[in-house]
Amino acid sequence: MVALEKIETAQGMAVRLEGVSQRFLLDGKPLPVLDHVNLDVAPGEFVALLGPSGCGKSTLLRLLAGLDAPSEGEVLTDETPVPGPDPSRVLVFQDPTLYPWRTVRANVALGLEARGLLRTQAHRVDDAIRLVGLTGFDSAYPHQLSGGMAQRVALARALVNDPRLLLLDEPLGKLDSLTRLSMQGELVRLWQRGGLTALLVTHDVEEALILAQRVIIFSPRPARITAELVVDRPYPRHRDDPHLVELRREALALLGLQD
């Protein structure tokens, strides 16, 4: 990825969850998924959400993206209840879900196109492609990309909207370990440009500690916040930093994975 200059972007969003619970109906029976979650994230903060599979992490991100409404409690961005989906709050999934018949450029342009902004703001497509290091691949089709490149396209498709809240749902989960390591660094650099609040769901303790300023740990379903670790280390971080090694031990113990 290219070195990134600071570019003018909006300030990151403040996030607040107040007593948020979510229940689904499964075979006619209520399934509690989130249990009175309270969380505050400052504008521009990078927070990781760590918890066992199926505890409710994706459910929480969907609430913040405005794709679902909570059963109970309030989901607020900038002190205002989230009314529904909006390009300022974007969700990036594990699976890049690109349109196979569209080029990289046309995939990245989708958001602007849908909002009728493509004609006047086409330069934002170039910016987003450059930011994720895919310059020169504009006219490639998804089948011509590696897994890491496809995920970069998905990131660019999110960034083209100039979001103020980036919701990352295990975005590196399907990548091979080397690609994953390099993209962790890229995510940090994207966030360091400023203007973004980032919430990263992961089940990888190391990834959480390498990327986030704060790691929130959830219980098994229904998810409650059980602990919070502050990762007060400068970037770029190194896996063998003794402080991170200690935090890793702590996080694993909190997750009940180490005695």
Ligand X SMILES: Nc1ncnc2c1ncn2[C@@H]1O[C@H](COP(=O)(O)OP(=O)(O)O)[C@@H](O)[C@H]1O
> For the window 210-249, what string marks contact with Mg ion as x by the rule CB under 5 A?
----------------------------------------
Query: CA-CA distance, 213 to 234, in Å (whole number)?
Result: 9
Is residue 202 near Mg ion by the rule CB under 5 A?
no
> Which of 52, 87 has the CB closer to ligand X?
52
> CB of residue 53 vs ligand X: minimum separation in angstroms?
5
> CB of residue 48 vs Mg ion: minimum separation in angstroms?
13
Binding-site member from 12, 56, 111, 148 for ligand X (CB under 6 A): 56
Is residue 58 near Mg ion by the rule CB under 5 A?
yes
Using the contact rule CB under 6 A, the part of the chain among 53-61, 103-111, 159-167, 247-255 near ligand X is 53-61
Is residue 59 near ligand X by the rule CB under 6 A?
yes
Radius of gyration, CA atoms only, the chain? 18
Say if CB 153 and CB 98 are below 8 A apart. yes
> CB of residue 73 vs ligand X: minimum separation in angstroms?
16
96 dihedral zone (left: phi>0; alpha: psi -120 to 50; beta): alpha
Sign of CA dihedral 60, 66, 67, 72: positive
Query: CA-CA distance, 140 to 93, in Å (whole number)?
Result: 21
Binding-site member from 152, 180, 221, 224 for ligand X (CB under 6 A): 221
Q: How many residues does the chain have?
A: 259
Q: Which tokens belong to 24? A: 């689904």
Is residue 28 near ligand X by the rule CB under 6 A?
no
DSSP-assigned letters across all residues of 99-136: -TTS-HHHHHHHHHHHTT-HHHHTHHHHHHHHHTT-TT
Is residue 26 near ligand X by the rule CB under 6 A?
yes
> Which of 33, 98 has the CB closer to Mg ion?
33
Binding site for ligand X (CB under 6 A): 24, 26, 31, 33, 51, 53-59, 221
